[in-house]
């Protein structure tokens, strides 16, 4: 079950233009990948689950190389409004920098994603604008169990790198 408490605690909504947290409807399976030009450029992967966006910061950009690993660090759950949020977080605030939506679409878990998150292993595919179709399908494995733990995610499908923008290797 997701919680937006940490998201709220980390931010001053008088200062940041990010959305104040509200829980969304529970049935969806949308995802967003945002490009976040913060202190260090990274990508944020967010998967809708139970009315919140489960989130990971991916410290390097998408890779076109099947099997290549990307480090992903789980961050606090984000509110549904973040699916379309773009803007500039003021310097000095948490996550200060520019955020743009890099890709959006739907995701599909293999098996029960709640169990997967507890176990620290989440297999899924993405179907977005950049990351779309069978060839661009991305399957990720999240390893680790604590929120603070670094979670390497590995692209396990052998899809071809033919889509526009490449695939995320996953995140
Ligand atoms: Mn970020």
Distance (angstroms) between ligand 1 centre and the Cα of 37 equals: 8
How high is the pLDDT of residue 157? 39
Q: How, if at all, do strands 87-89 and 52-58 pair?
A: unpaired
The confidence score (pLDDT) of residue 36 equals: 94
44-73 pLDDT, tens per residue?
Answer: 889 999 999 988 887 776 665 555 666 667
* Ramachandran area for residue 79 (φ above 0: left; ψ -120 to 50: alpha; else beta): beta
In whole angstroms, give the CA distance from residue 109 to residue 8: 27
- The residue with greater pLDDT, 144 or 6, is 6
Rounded distance between C-alpha atoms, residue 171 and residue 22, angstroms: 25
Kind plus residue range of the DSSP H or E element containing 111: none
Q: Exposed (0-12), middle (13-18) or buried (19+): which is 129, by Cβ within 10 Å?
A: middle
Residue 44 Cα to ligand 1 midpoint, Å, equals 5
* CA 119 to ligand 1 center in whole angstroms: 24
b/e map 141-153, b = 16+ CB within 10 Å: bbbbeeeeeebeb
**What number is the average pLDDT over the span 164-171?**
33
Structure tokens at 143: 């390893």
Q: pLDDT-derived band of residue 147, with 50, 70 and 90 as boundaries?
A: very low
Query: Separation of 133 CA from ligand 1 center, angstroms?
Result: 26
Q: Give me ligand 1 centre to Cα 135, in Å.
A: 27
135 and 163 Cβ atoms separated by less than 8 Å: yes
The pTM of the full predicted model, rounded to 2 decimals, is 0.76
pLDDT tens, 106-139?
A: 988 878 888 877 766 677 777 888 765 433 344 4
Tens of pLDDT, residues 20-44: 887 777 788 999 999 999 988 988 8
User: What's the gap in Å between 56 CA and the centre of ligand 1?
Assistant: 8
């Amino acid at each position: 079950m997701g919680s937006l408490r940490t998201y709220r605690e980390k931010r001053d909504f008088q200062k940041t233009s990010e959305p104040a947290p509200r829980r969304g409807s529970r049935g969806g399976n949308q995802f967003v990948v945002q490009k976040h030009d913060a202190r260090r450029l990274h990508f944020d992967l967010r998967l809708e689950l139970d009315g919140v966006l489960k989130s990971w910061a991916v410290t390097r950009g998408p890779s076109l190389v099947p099997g290549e690993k990307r480090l992903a660090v789980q961050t606090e759950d984000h509110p549904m409004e973040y699916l379309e949020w773009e803007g500039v977080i003021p310097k000095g605030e948490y996550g200060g920098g520019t955020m743009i939506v890099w890709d959006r679409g739907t995701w599909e878990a293999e098996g029960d994603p709640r169990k997967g998150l507890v176990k620290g292993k989440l297999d899924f595919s993405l179907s977005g604008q950049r990351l779309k179709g069978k060839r661009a399908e991305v399957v990720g494995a999240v390893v680790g169990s604590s929120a603070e733990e670094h979670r390497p995610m590995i692209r396990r499908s052998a899809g071809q790198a033919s889509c526009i923008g490449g695939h995320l290797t996953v995140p």
